[in-house]
Amino acid sequence: MTWDWKTTLWFVCYLPVVVGLTLFGLHRFYIVWLFWKHYRRPPRPAARFAELPFVTVQLPVFNEMHVVRRLVESVAGLDYPRHLLQIQILDDSTDETVAICQEEEAKLRAEGFDVTHIHRTNREGFKAGAMENGLRTASGEYVFILDADFIPPPGVLKEMIHYFTDPRIGLVQSRWGHLNRDYSLLTKVQAMFLDGHLVVEQVARSRAGRFFNFNGTAGIWRKSAIVDAGGWEHDTLTEDLDLSYRAQMKGWKFVFLCDLITPAELPVDVNGFKTQQHRWTKGSIQTCKKMLGPVWRSRQPLAIKLEATVHLGINFMNLLLLCQCVVAWPGMGQQFSLGGHRFLLLDLPVFILSTVSVALFYLSSQMAAYPRHWLRHMLYYPMLIAVLVGMAVNNGRAVLEALFNKESPFVRTPKFGIEGKKKAPAAQKNYKSLKSIALGSEVALAVYFTVALISAFLKNYWSSVPFLLLFMAGFWYVVWGSLPQLFPGSRKEDDSGPVAA
Where in the sequence numbering do the catalytic residues fall? 92, 240
List CB contacts of 83: < 8 A, sequence separation 6 or more.
114
Task: Confirm if 428 and 417 have CB atoms less than 8 A apart.
Answer: yes
Q: Helix, strand or coil for residue 260?
A: strand
Q: Give helix then strand counts, H and E, for the chain.
A: 20, 7
Task: Confirm if 188 and 477 have CB atoms less than 8 A apart.
Answer: no
List CB contacts of 136: < 8 A, sequence separation 6 or more.
none
Q: Roughly what angle, to the nearest 10 degrees, separates helices 381-390 and 392-403? A: 40
Tell me the C-alpha distance between 365 and 371, whole Å. 10
Tell me the C-alpha distance between 31 and 50, whole Å. 37
Tell me the C-alpha distance between 358 and 361, whole Å. 5
3-state secondary structure 333-365: CCCCCHHHCHHHHHHHHHHHHHHHHHHHHHHHH
List the beta bridge partners of residue 84. none
Tell me the C-alpha distance between 311 and 242, whole Å. 12
Task: Confirm if 496 and 424 have CB atoms less than 8 A apart.
Answer: yes
Tell me the C-alpha distance between 186 and 386, whole Å. 11
List CB contacts of 6: < 8 A, sequence separation 6 or more.
330
Cβ atoms within 10 Å of 431's Cβ, excluding its own: 16
Task: Confirm if 129 and 232 have CB atoms less than 8 A apart.
Answer: yes
Tell me the C-alpha distance between 286 and 374, whole Å. 35
Task: Confirm if 241 and 283 have CB atoms less than 8 A apart.
Answer: yes
Which strands form 169-178's sheet, in the order they lie side by side?
A: 114-119, 85-91, 55-61, 142-145, 219-222, 169-178, 253-264
